[in-house]
Structure 1
Amino acid sequence: MYNVDLHAHTRFFHGRDELGDRFDPLGVRLLAAAADRRGLDGVATTNHDYYTPLEPPGPIETLPGIEITTDRGHVLVVGPDPPAATKPGALTPDEAVGLAHDRDCAAIVAHPFRNSTVRELEDVPFDAIEINGKHPRSRPLVEELAESRGLPLVGGSDAHYPFEVGRAYTVVDADRLTPTAVVEAIRDGRVGARVASSGVDRLLRRGYRTIHRRKRVIDALERPSPGVGSPPGEES
Structure 2
Amino acid sequence: MYRIDLHAHTRFFHGHRRLGDVYDPLGGRLLAGVARARGLDGVATTNHDYYRAFDDEITGVAVLPGIEISTTRGHVLVVGPNPPSETDPGELTPGEVVDIAHERDCAAIIAHPYRNSTVREADAAFDAIEVNGKHPRTREWVERLADQYELPMTGGSDAHYPIEVGRAYTAVDVDDPTPENVVAAIRDGRVEPRVADWLPYRLIGRLYRYIHAEKDQLDAPDWATPGVGTPPEDD
TM-score normalised to the size of structure 2? 0.91
Aligned to 1:84: 85
Query: Does 1:192 pair with 2:192?
Result: yes
Q: Deviations over 1:147-181 (max 9, x none)?
A: 00000000000000000000000000001010000
Report which of the two structures shows the higher radius of gyration computed on alpha carbons.
Answer: 1
Aligned to 2:8: 8
Aligned to 2:31: 31
SS of structure 2 residue aligned to 1:158: coil
2-side partners of 1:81 and 1:206: how far apart? 35
SS of structure 1 residue aligned to 2:26: helix
Tell me if structure 2 keeps the 8 A contact 1:135–1:234: no
Aligned to 2:148: 148
2-side partners of 1:110 and 1:36: how far apart? 24
1-side partners of 2:93 and 2:58: how far apart? 36
Number of residue equivalences: 222
SS of structure 2 residue aligned to 1:76: strand
SS of structure 2 residue aligned to 1:176: coil
Tell me if structure 1 keeps the 8 A contact 2:212–2:218: no
* Partner amino acid, structure 2, of 1:99: I
Aligned to 1:103: 104
SS of structure 1 residue aligned to 2:43: strand
1-side partners of 2:212 and 2:186: how far apart? 31
Aligned to 2:202: 202
* Partner amino acid, structure 2, of 1:88: P
Tell me if structure 2 keeps the 8 A contact 1:113–1:234: no
Tell me if structure 1 keeps the 8 A contact 2:219–2:226: yes
1-side partners of 2:71 and 2:184: how far apart? 24
Q: Deviations over 1:184-228 (max 9, x none)?
A: 000000000000011121122122233334444xxxxxxxxxxxx
Q: Percent identity?
A: 64
Q: Deviations over 1:40-78 (max 9, x none)?
A: 000000000000101263200000000000000000000
Q: Which moved more, 1:197-206 or 1:74-83?
A: 197-206
* Partner amino acid, structure 2, of 1:64: P
Counterparts in 2 of 1:54-65, with a 5 A limit?
54-55=54-55, 57-65=58-66
* Partner amino acid, structure 2, of 1:15: G
2-side partners of 1:212 and 1:186: how far apart? 28
Q: Deviations over 1:88-126 (max 9, x none)?
A: 0110000000000000000000000100001112x3100
Counterparts in 2 of 1:35-50, with a 5 A limit?
35-50=35-50
Aligned to 2:163: 163
2-side partners of 1:234 and 1:46: how far apart? 26
Aligned to 2:231: none
2-side partners of 1:177 and 1:141: how far apart? 28
2-side partners of 1:130 and 1:20: how far apart? 26
Tell me if structure 1 keeps the 8 A contact 2:130–2:155: yes
2-side partners of 1:234 and 1:114: how far apart? 10
Aligned to 1:221: none
SS of structure 1 residue aligned to 2:58: coil
Q: Which moved more, 1:175-184 or 1:206-215?
A: 206-215
SS of structure 2 residue aligned to 1:143: helix
* Partner amino acid, structure 2, of 1:208: Y
Aligned to 1:17: 17
* Partner amino acid, structure 2, of 1:78: V
